[in-house]
Amino acid sequence: MTAPRWGVLWEVASTEARRRMAYRVDFWIHGAFGVLVHFAVFWYLWTSLFATRADPRLGGLDLAGVVLYYAAVLLVARLVRGPDFDSGVATEIYEGALNRYLILPVPYAAFKYAQHLGSLLPVLVQVLVLAGLAALVLPASAGVHLTGAGLLRALPALWLAHLLWFLMGFAIQCVAFWAENVWSLLVALRVTTDFLGGIFLPLALLPLWAREAGGWLPFHCLFSLPVRTLLGQVDPGEWARGLLVGGAWALLLGALCAGVWRRGTRGYTGVGM
């Protein structure tokens, strides 16, 4: 496998960013509308739940804290997933379009990750705009502490989450070398990461044994860790442990992707271009 040529990868990322912005109205409507609809559903459910409770706090958070958590986790999920890592790899394997990538001067995985990063750049602008609006309209919470130090610690956690999501999706899509359809596996990945990553509900609401077991899995590194770090709810020790666990899983997933790729391309025969 050839070494990455950074100039080529930069051109790939910039081309993908421009391609994603070709239809700007659709980009803004699709992205912003999706976040707002999901947030409205979560807001309605949790305000209804808190209205039936005598205790104004749940899992150490008041209603304002839960609202801020969901606003943050939806925006972070947009950054981690980008405009979603679709089934492009599997499609290229099925259709034989993988042929043209095998002669490029960069590894295929590096090429696809550069595309993934490029698709993230327009999303970053969208997220910053929505975050600014959220800061203006959402109430403050005593359990949320936004600081510059928290933001700086959240940046490596966000990058690690982005890398983990790519590696998970890439490994599953490489199953297309042997399976006719991997769509159900991608759906299963999304549901699993939504639940164990902290999108469906804050992980603080899970039983203690589940939180301790989940701390050794990569899923909490996808959304919960960067969000809680950003909101000032993670001490430096827990943050460092989360990065170490996530980094170890990134190495394991990277080795898995490399092994599956080598095994798959060894028997791959493509007739398309």
In-domain check, residue 49:
yes
More confident call, 70 vs 145? 70
What integer is the mean pLDDT of 154-163? 95
Residue 214 lies in a domain: yes
- Across the range 258-268, mean pLDDT stands at 89
Residue 32 has pLDDT above 80, yes or no: no
pLDDT at 271 over 70: no
What are the pLDDT digits (tens) for 193-235? Answer: 999 999 988 898 888 899 899 999 999 999 999 999 999 999 9
Query: Is residue 1 domain-resident?
Result: no
Question: Exposed, middle or buried by CB within 10 Å (0-12, 13-18, 19+), for 74?
Answer: buried
What pLDDT is attached to residue 139? 81
- Write down the pLDDT at residue 13: 80
CA proximity to 31, closest of 18, 41, 19, 21: 21
Classify 238 as helix, strand or coil.
helix
Q: Note whether residue 271 is domain-resident.
A: no
Task: Give the model confidence (pLDDT) of 66-114 as tens digits.
Answer: 899 999 999 999 889 876 556 688 888 888 888 888 777 788 888 888 8
Structural domain includes residue 273: no
> What is the average pLDDT value for the chain, to the nearest integer?
86
Those residues with Cβ within 8 angstroms of residue 54's Cβ, 6 or more apart along the chain or in another chain: none
**Domain-embedded: residue 21:** yes
pLDDT class for 245, splitting at 50, 70, 90?
A: very high
**Which range among 52-66, 161-175, 185-199 shows the weakest confidence by mean pLDDT?**
52-66
The domain containing residue 34 runs over which residues?
A: 6-266
Alpha-carbon distance of 203 to 228, in angstroms, equals 10
- What does the pLDDT read at residue 237? 93
Contact 50, 58 (CB under 8 A): yes
Which pLDDT value is given to residue 192?
A: 94
pLDDT top residue among 87 and 242: 242
pLDDT-based confidence at residue 1 (cuts at 50, 70, 90): very low
Is residue 231 one of the residues assigned to a domain? yes
pLDDT of residue 26: 67
Total of domains in the chain: 1
